Structure 1
Amino acid sequence: MVEEKLLPWALAGVTLGEEVLEIGPGFGATTKVLAGTVPRLTAVEVDPASAALLDRELGDRATIVTGDATDLQFPDESFDAVVCFTMLHHVPSPAAQDRLFAEACRVLRPGGTFAGSDSRYSHRFRLLHLGDTMVVVDPDALPDRLRRAGFTDPTVSSAGGSYRFRARKTGLS
């Protein structure tokens, strides 16, 4: 599903480049696919146990870092692309989501792309997240939030219960 549907749809028309950062890989379904398609992949995961498991599974195919995406420990302009898939709703507040967007912009090189996907709100989705953090990002509000974080040309499109987004960082180093 991830390799055949999610990533091709979420990344259609997106050039990732050489150095890619994935935010919030969780158990690594997308990370395992990305690791085979990009030259250098770094993934930052907030949960130490998940990060350790991914590190063991992926070995030298990716660099796995335990960390908080709202306070990334990478230098400015470190990556050609930043991606995240089905994880934004796990960020505990809109303010924290906005810090994540700002950090993604900060670590992205000029001309780079921030892209990903997540789920739209539904009662079924809510039931899947009982007892779990679920702060769904409104896809209609996302372009303005990405602009405030420093991105240009944000686009959001929906299909079924999901949406994908992409935005660029402009400017010179």
Structure 2
Amino acid sequence: MNALHRRLCRSERWAARMHGEVLPWALEGVDLGGDVLEIGPGYGVTTHWLAERAGALTAAEVDPRLAKDLGRAMGERVDVRTADGTRLPFADASFDAVVCFTVLHHVSSPAAQDRVFAEAARVLRPGGVFAGSDSRRSLRFRLLHVGDTMVVVDPATLPDRLRGAGFHVATADAGERSFRFRAQR
């Protein structure tokens, strides 16, 4: 991520938007009471919110430095692992819910995004839910990602991609600046 993007993702303003708007909307009706996996927590803004609501929370972060910092910040409340969402180091059917927020557009290609979806399906228990949100394409979003990986997911095609990854039921709802998705194994 570029310097502006890193600063935004650590800001109080971003945390307030995520905690007050995006997370409650994206996870409306999702049961977080069991074993929950968060893919791509980054600086941990979403992890802090989830830790107050999830049963047992595990976070898989690809960046070793961010994973180490988040592990130190969360202590024993969250099991933070350095792991790639396309190759999760967890057994099949390990989690009741898998979540990710503003991560998918950082995945290098649609094929790699589809591997993240397949891994989420693999590690979910039968009946488990994969849920989250990501940003929609806009000029502001593009400017924020100058020099960054930015592979925007089209919410109109996402349900078919999720079903192709092994989910039985999949939906995506677009808001003004972001979209949420839900898929069930």
The normalised TM-score by structure 1 is 0.96
Matched, 1:7 2:20: no
Which moves more between the two structures, 87-96 or 15-24? 15-24
Aligned positions, number: 169
1:62-81 correspondence runs (5 A): 62-81=78-97
Secondary structure in 2 matching 1:74: coil
Secondary structure in 2 matching 1:147: helix
Contact 1:89 1:118 in 2 (8 A): yes
Match of 1:154 in 2: 170
Contact 2:32 2:55 in 1 (8 A): no
Runs of 4+ in 1 over 6 A off after TM superposition: none
1:114-129 correspondence runs (5 A): 114-129=130-145
- Provide the rounded CA distance (Å) in 1 between the counterparts of 2:33 and 2:45: 20
Match of 2:128 in 1: 112
- Provide the rounded CA distance (Å) in 1 between the counterparts of 2:80 and 2:21: 24
Write 1 or 2 for the structure with the bigger share of helix: 2
Residue 43 of structure 1 deviates from its aligned partner by: 0.3
Superimposed CA distance per residue, residues 103-131 of structure 1 (whole angstroms, 9 cap, x where no aligned partner): 00000000000000000111110000001
Matched, 1:34 2:50: yes
Structure 1 vs Structure 2 CA RMSD: 0.7
Residue 16 of structure 1 deviates from its aligned partner by: 2.4
- Provide the rounded CA distance (Å) in 1 between the counterparts of 2:48 and 2:77: 9
Contact 2:129 2:184 in 1 (8 A): yes
Unpaired runs of 5+ in structure 2?
A: 1-15
Q: Percent identity at matched positions?
A: 64
Contact 1:16 1:113 in 2 (8 A): no
